[in-house]
Every structure is written in structure tokens, then in C-alpha cells.
Amino acid sequence: MEKFKELYLKYKEIVNYLIFGVLTTVISLVVYYMCVFTILNPENAFQLQIANIISWIAGVIFAYVTNRRFVFESNEKNTIKEASKFVTSRLVTLIMDMLIMFLGVTTLHLNDKVIKLISQAVVIVSNYIFSKIFVFKKNKV
């Protein structure tokens, strides 16, 4: 058990990012699937993107709160500036997500649920990189 704790502490940021990244993905996917199984038609390109945006908003809100508190343990006093950077970086990955969905579903006519899962994998990795180097970077004293 001590070895497990030692490993966790050594890789705490990455482990917490993976945990909360998975939870963010679950929230995003649940919201997306709720949209496309109830009120929005994924075969309609516009409605597909609306479902994607709604799921993105839910995921970003959850991700900012958990990344700030549990992953990067930010002490930034200017939360508006930090949140703006976070949303900006997430907008970049939203565009990536929308392009993947458009190409995979609208252009190639592949299954939207499968393409959404693939897209989320790309987005998770990109979000970590952007958060680490742009949003929650540690200021050297």
C-alpha cells in the first residue's frame, strides 16, 4: 500500500488528470447521447454540431472546476483570466472535435457514437497539453 501511495504522489497530476478527464468525458458523452437520443438528430449536420456544443459546455464547466482544484491545484488569484485561458484552449479543442465529427460522420458517414469516442481521445490529450503549458503553468519565483 505504501508503494501505491508513493507512486500516486509521484504522478499525482497525471493520475488526477486521467481520473477527472475520464469523468469529464463521461459527462460530455452522457450529455451528447441524451441530446441525440431525445431531441436532436445526429444525421442532421446542424443538429449534430448543436449536440456536440451542448456536451462541450457541460464538459468544460466540470473540467475547469476539477482541473483547477484537484489536478493542477491552482492558486491563481485572477480566476477570470485563468478561466478565460481555459475556455480559449477548450475552444481550440472544440473546433478539433467538430472537425473530427464533421469529417467522420457528415463526410465519411461513419457511426457518430464511434467517431465521438475517437474524437474524445484526441481531445483529452490535447486538453492536457494546453492546460499544462498555457492555462495552469506554474510561475517560477
How many helices (H) and strands (E) the chain has is answered by: 5, 0
> Which residues, given as ranges, of the chain have pLDDT below 50?
none
pLDDT at 138: 76
pLDDT at 133: 92
Give the pTM: 0.76
Q: What is the pLDDT of residues 42-74, one digit of tens each?
A: 889 899 989 988 998 999 999 999 999 999 999
Residue type, 80: I
pLDDT at 56: 87
pLDDT at 26: 94
pLDDT at 61: 94
**Residues 89, 135 contacting (CB under 8 angstroms):** yes
Q: What CA–CA distances, in Å, run from 46 to 35, 65, 74, 106, 111? A: 13, 29, 37, 10, 16
pLDDT at 140: 58
Residue 14, SS3? helix
